[in-house]
């Protein structure tokens, strides 16, 4: 029983990190039809920037802001000066983001070498919360809290704000949104900036749990893709449910069948693509 609870918590924490990454990826894809293959690299680069900040003596919380902010700036520049030039050529945009992902990945090895970097936990969140004979690491609980708060904030942003209404209109029908006078280029920049910032900040936040290593990007990117395939395009609820689902599957899978944890990831994908190609919460096929 204890095993299931602890692994469940681990799954929830991993799913939470995944959500921070995948929500931005899904929003960008849903709105801009850009499959941002750099997203995993943003996550990793954000984590490395955060590590360097911490090693330079910066407080963990500031490091999250620095990581998120750095990637936000990088993403905005890439969107503004590269992706926008390729407007209306989705395949070209994908290839560019793939190229950028390689450049970032290799640059990280260059700067931070090939050795994994452990990320120290903020002191105030070290230790565990004890409930009867179970010990829950506080940091993981905190990450879960952050993801839920983020989900709520994004939901409010999308459902209750003017910006959100414009984003939703754009996801549903971009030409129509444009015809209604929404300045889509500004909207695109805002969403890409938000998604990048989330990826970068998420990377730093993931540091104490996953640590930072070359290949973190290749580990995370396909999971984000799987989340979107499962959850459906541009659906926040889909990204949330998909992330937690993958988090649980991955966590239990790795504990129960360590060799096969990755094979098990096939199963939900096979099922969803076969039975419901729009994804669980999507309205259009990807």
Minimum distance between the CB of residue 75 and other proteins, rounded to whole angstroms? Answer: 15
Q: Could you give the residue ranges of the DSSP H alpha helices within the chain?
A: 2-32, 39-55, 60-78, 90-112, 138-160, 162-172, 174-179, 184-210, 216-231, 236-256, 261-275
Our finding on whether 110 is near other proteins (CB under 8 A) is yes
Minimum distance between the CB of residue 249 and other proteins, rounded to whole angstroms? Answer: 12
Q: Which of residues 6, 9, 33, 165 is near other proteins by CB under 8 A?
A: 33
Minimum distance between the CB of residue 262 and other proteins, rounded to whole angstroms? Answer: 4
Determine contact, residues 58/279, Cβ cutoff 8 Å: no
Q: Which stretch binds other proteins (CB under 8 A): 91-99, 130-138, 147-155, 184-192?
A: 91-99
Reduced to 3 states (helix: H, G, I; strand: E, B; else coil), residue 212 is strand
- Of 26 and 142, nearer to other proteins (C-beta) is 26
Determine contact, residues 231/240, Cβ cutoff 8 Å: yes
**Cα separation, 228 vs 280, whole angstroms:** 10
Our finding on whether 58 is near other proteins (CB under 8 A) is no
- Of 16 and 26, nearer to other proteins (C-beta) is 26
Residues that bind other proteins (CB under 8 A): 29, 33, 35, 37, 82, 85-86, 89-92, 94-96, 98-107, 110, 218-219, 221-222, 225-226, 228-229, 258-263, 265-266, 269-270, 273-274, 277, 285-286
């Amino acid at each position: 029983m204890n095993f299931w609870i602890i692994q469940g918590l681990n799954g929830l924490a991993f799913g939470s990190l995944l959500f921070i990454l995948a929500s931005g990826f899904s929003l960008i894809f849903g709105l801009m039809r850009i499959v941002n293959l750099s997203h995993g690299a943003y996550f990793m680069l954000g984590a490395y920037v955060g590590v360097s900040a911490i090693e330079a003596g910066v407080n963990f919380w500031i490091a999250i802001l620095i990581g998120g902010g750095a990637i936000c700036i990088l993403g905005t520049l890439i969107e503004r000066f590269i992706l926008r030039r390729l407007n209306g050529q989705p395949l070209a945009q994908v290839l560019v983001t793939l190229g950028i992902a390689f450049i970032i990945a290799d640059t990280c090895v260059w700067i931070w070498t090939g050795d994994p970097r452990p990320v120290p936990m903020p002191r105030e969140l070290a230790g565990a919360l004890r409930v009867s004979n179970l010990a829950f690491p506080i940091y993981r609980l905190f990450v879960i809290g952050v993801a839920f708060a983020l989900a709520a904030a994004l939901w409010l942003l999308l459902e209750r704000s003017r910006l959100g209404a414009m984003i939703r209109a754009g996801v549903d029908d971009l030409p129509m949104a444009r015809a209604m006078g929404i300045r889509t280029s500004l909207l695109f920049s805002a969403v890409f900036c938000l998604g990048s910032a989330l990826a970068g900040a998420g990377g730093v936040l993931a540091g104490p749990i996953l640590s930072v290593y070359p290949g973190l990007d290749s580990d995370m990117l396909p999971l984000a893709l799987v989340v979107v395939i499962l959850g459906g395009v541009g659906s926040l609820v889909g990204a949330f449910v998909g992330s937690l689902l993958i988090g649980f599957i991955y966590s239990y899978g790795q504990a129960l069948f360590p060799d096969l944890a990755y094979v098990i990831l096939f199963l939900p994908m096979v099922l969803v693509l076969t039975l419901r190609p729009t994804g669980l919460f999507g309205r259009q096929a990807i």
